[in-house]
């Protein structure tokens, strides 16, 4: 009760302690992964619904989210490629962990998609100054970011996306880890938060 996403922030986001060995032993091409038809349909529907939740403003719109998503995907491809092409001394353990951790990879592109859902086009400072309802609801901290997170998360957790949910997280601990990643990534987009 009365808790916000800010209450879930952690200073350190633990990555997978050891990367799943299957990803290290078998080179899995993401392009070759086939989702069950129901999951694919639900993912398409989810992205469509998220697109509809973006407002038509100058910057914080669905085009911007699409660009951030594509840039994030490109960055991840480079991290994975660096891990495959270089030795551990050059890339460090983190590239290996991220390269072999599909949950972290998905959380990054998922957050790129949802990070500005329902953004009004004005700053958090302006929302607070205007005493907007959401400013009060989020205790005047990371207002737009928490709103985007809550709307997108509530949609994801709705019944019509059960198959998609099971594809993303198969257990309670996976759900909690995914949620922790999403909260920390989205709230990190508030560059004025201290």
pLDDT in tens, 149-172: 999 999 999 999 999 999 999 999
Taking only the tens place, the pLDDT of each residue in 4-48 is 898 898 877 766 654 444 334 344 556 677 899 999 999 999 999
Amino acid 19: pLDDT: 45
Average pLDDT over every residue of 71-94: 72
CA 58 to chain centre: 22
CA 192 to chain centre: 19
pLDDT over threshold 60, residue 82: yes
Under 8 Å CB-to-CB from 19, ≥6 apart: which residues?
A: 96, 97, 99, 100, 101
């Amino acid at each position: 009760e009365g808790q916000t996403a800010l209450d879930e922030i952690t200073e350190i986001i633990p990555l997978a302690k050891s990367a799943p060995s299957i990803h290290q032993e078998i080179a899995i091409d993401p392009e070759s992964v086939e989702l069950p038809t129901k999951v694919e349909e639900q993912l398409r529907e989810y992205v469509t619904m998220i697109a509809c939740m973006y407002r038509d403003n100058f910057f914080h719109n669905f085009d911007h989210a699409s660009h951030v998503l594509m840039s994030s995907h490109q960055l991840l491809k480079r991290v994975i490629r660096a891990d495959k092409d270089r030795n551990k001394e050059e890339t460090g353990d983190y590239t290996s962990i991220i390269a072999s951790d599909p949950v972290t990879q998905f959380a990054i592109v998922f957050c790129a998609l949802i990070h500005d859902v329902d953004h009004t086009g004005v700053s958090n400072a302006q929302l607070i100054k205007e005493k907007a309802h959401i400013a009060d609801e989020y205790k005047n901290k990371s207002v737009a970011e928490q709103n985007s997170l809550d709307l997108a998360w509530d949609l994801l957790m709705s019944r019509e996306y059960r198959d998609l949910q099971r594809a993303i997280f198969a257990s309670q601990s996976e759900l909690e880890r995914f949620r922790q990643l999403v909260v920390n990534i989205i709230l990190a987009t508030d560059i004025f938060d201290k």
